[in-house]
Amino acid sequence: MNFINAVRMALARTFDFQGRSRRSEYWWFNLALLPAYVLQEVDDEVAVVIGVAISLLTFVTLLSLSIRRLHDINMSAWWLLLGLIPLAGWIALICFACQDGTPGANRYGPSPKAQVAPGYSATYTAPVPRRVFVDSEGNVHPLPDAPPPG
């Protein structure tokens, strides 16, 4: 996934807290936000305001992307609370974000790597909600759809 596709996909999935996201999407989007982080440290008031505005506007996007990144390594979004622990929590979250995703499907959905054929660009498609059960051996089994109410 290249820089432009990663940023587009992250922005298109701003309010999508389900599913999985690849490492490349996560790190390319963080790289795109790097100028905003730098602007917050400049002594010029206008630059600081612009940097803070960009950070606030992309907060939900970064939050949903971080949750999907944790889902890719088969971890719950609750692990983001480690970020409240200074230094040790931040280092742990960086280590989690650097890990390769779970190969194949996990309880959060199919692998995002398997969804893009080699030689084709990644395009966003809305996720199809699926109910699955992961047994103790890591095998994924689909659950039958619930009957309609009434």
Tens digits of pLDDT across the chain (150 residues): 789 999 999 999 999 999 999 999 999 999 999 888 888 888 888 888 888 888 899 999 999 999 999 999 999 999 999 999 999 999 999 999 999 998 888 999 998 887 654 455 555 555 555 677 778 887 777 777 656 565
- The reported pTM is 0.70
Report the number of distinct structural domains present in the chain.
1
β-pairing, 140-142 with 132-134?
antiparallel
User: Alpha carbon 26 to chain centroid distance?
Assistant: 6
Is 131 a member of any domain? Answer: no
C-alpha to C-alpha distance for 125 and 111, rounded to whole angstroms: 14
What is the model's pLDDT at position 115? 64
Is 21 a member of any domain? Answer: yes
Is 99 a member of any domain? Answer: yes
Is 87 a member of any domain? Answer: yes
C-alpha to C-alpha distance for 21 and 112, rounded to whole angstroms: 6
- The answer to whether 141 and 133 are in contact (CB under 8 A) is yes
Is 130 a member of any domain? Answer: no
Residue entry with tokens 């199919």: 110
Is 144 a member of any domain? Answer: no
Which backbone phi and psi does 72 adopt, to 5 degrees?
-65, -30
Range of the domain at 62: 3-125
What is the model's pLDDT at position 150? 55
Is 137 a member of any domain? Answer: no
What is the model's pLDDT at position 40? 81
What is the model's pLDDT at position 118? 47
Is 133 a member of any domain? Answer: no
